[in-house]
Amino acid sequence: MATATKHMLVVGLGNYTHPGTRHNIGMMVVDSLAQRFQAPWYKKGAWQAEVATATTMITLKKKKKPAPRKVRFPNDSAEAKSGPSPALATGSRAPDKSSSQSLLAQTGTEPVETTTLELKLTFLKPLQLMNISGSSVSRAARDLGIPATNILVIHDDMEREIGKLSFKNEGSANGHNGVKSCVKYLGTQHFTRLRVGIGRPPVASRASNVVAGYVLGRFKPLEIEQLEELVYGKAGDEIIRVSTDPNRA
């Protein structure tokens, strides 16, 4: 069984001094993750952030690629001397016992490759203002030697109903100041985001004061119940799934 390692930086964006507000959902999610892994938080002055670390072992399985068929040429085989076998003479193909199809026929199962992945997770809560929080993320990524493709940023999304989760692999910040800051300080858009729906203001107006008042407002008790039911556990599972995707770096 092969063994591999991977290190992910999981960032929760929010306003550290305004706990419980809608704009703080990113930090609330990483708090739930740290609790899930029983990882204590500590302050890292050089990064201007709170940090927690966890390690988990995950078994990954994927289908084995079929072994390449060996090409046989008449001059290199016994057929050159004795002629083709009856099966080949009638146009049938000789069985390839080394292929996955042969194993499937013999055992009823396809061959798989099993890998044990040691997944290290560093959780980060920037202590800076939202619009400059990317500097904490870039310092942590630099010091840990983590590429942008192994960074996952969790943030609020006003365009989705409360509790809805959506991953985005790259692209623009869609007006989110924390994501804008991460793009600026990392120098790239190529990092994953987990957008957590916080719902929309009760009025149709998108005036800046209306939006600010909504996202900086505290979650209502019913909304907190929805987050506990729809977000925390599911977000943790989805982050593990994305982090262990063999198609990612």
Q: Among candidates 96, 76, 94, 74, which has minimal Cα distance to 86?
A: 94
- Domains of the chain are 2-63+113-243 (3.40.50.1470)
At residue 210, the pLDDT reads 82
**Local confidence pLDDT in tens for the 249 residues of the chain:** 678 899 999 999 999 988 899 999 999 999 999 999 999 999 999 999 999 999 988 887 777 666 666 666 556 555 555 555 554 445 555 555 455 555 555 555 667 778 888 899 999 999 999 999 999 999 999 999 999 999 999 999 988 999 899 998 877 877 899 999 999 999 999 999 999 999 888 877 777 888 888 888 999 999 999 999 999 999 999 999 888 886 654
- What gap in Å lies between CA 94 and CA 113, rounded to an integer? 26
At residue 99, the pLDDT reads 54
The alpha carbon dihedral of 14, 16, 18, 21 has a sign of positive
Contact between 214 and 175 (Cβ < 8 Å): no
Question: What is the pTM assigned to this prediction?
Answer: 0.78
- What gap in Å lies between CA 92 and CA 242, rounded to an integer? 45
- What gap in Å lies between CA 90 and CA 193, rounded to an integer? 59
Amino acid at 163: G
In sequence order, which residues have a C-beta less than 8 Å from that of residue 176 and are 6 or more positions away? 13, 155, 156, 157
At residue 227, the pLDDT reads 92
Contact between 201 and 210 (Cβ < 8 Å): yes
